[in-house]
């Protein structure tokens, strides 16, 4: 039996006036869980910011939730491969995936707005 942990991995997609959630619950082994966290976090980083509610609540919640799931999965021992079954590839780390950098757009925008508010108040 391979070691697993009960975790929830989330993805969030923001639209201008709506939002969509994706959630996968279950006992996951270290390899499958980390691969899933990487995939869904990357999707959230490039699709999650495109609405006001998503920017303020949805995306940060999904990212923090995935961070907690990742930490829980890291504590597990490596999974023992099941004979006759192929293991899923772990994939690249999040910061080596170009779509993750789309998240810089709202962060830079927020910094510019904050700078403008501070300088105009002086």
Residue 29 burial class via C-beta count within 10 angstroms: exposed 0-12, middle 13-18, buried 19 and up = buried
pLDDT digits (tens, 9 = 90+) for 61-80: 999 999 999 999 999 998 77
Give the SS3 label for residue 86: coil
Tell me the residue ranges of DSSP E strands in the chain: 4-14, 19-29
What is the domain range of residue 8?
Answer: 4-121
pLDDT digits (tens, 9 = 90+) for 1-32: 578 999 999 999 999 889 999 999 999 999 99
pLDDT digits (tens, 9 = 90+) for 84-119: 888 788 899 999 999 999 888 877 887 888 898 899
- Read off the pLDDT band of 46 (50, 70, 90): very high
Tell me the whole-structure pTM to 2 decimals: 0.84
Distance between CA atoms of residues 110 and 72, nearest Å: 31
CA contacts within 13 A on the Cβ side of 78: 4
Count: domains in the chain: 1
Q: Which two tokens stand for residue 56?
A: 């303020």
Q: Which two tokens stand for residue 47?
A: 């699709």
Distance between CA atoms of residues 78 and 30, nearest Å: 6
Q: Which two tokens stand for residue 59?
A: 């995306």
Cβ atoms of 47 and 97 within 8 Å: the answer is no
């Amino acid at each position: 039996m391979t070691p697993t942990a009960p975790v929830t991995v989330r993805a969030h997609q923001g639209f201008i006036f709506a939002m969509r959630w994706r959630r996968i619950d279950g006992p996951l082994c270290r390899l499958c869980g980390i691969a899933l966290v990487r995939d869904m976090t990357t999707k959230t980083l490039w699709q999650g910011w495109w609405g006001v509610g998503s920017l303020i609540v949805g995306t940060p919640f999904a990212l923090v939730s995935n961070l907690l799931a990742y930490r829980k999965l890291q504590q597990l021992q490596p999974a023992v491969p099941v004979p006759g079954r192929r293991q899923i590839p772990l994939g690249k780390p999040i910061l080596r995936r170009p779509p993750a950098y789309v998240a810089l757009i709202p962060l830079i925008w927020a910094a510019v707005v904050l700078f403008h508010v501070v300088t105009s108040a002086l």
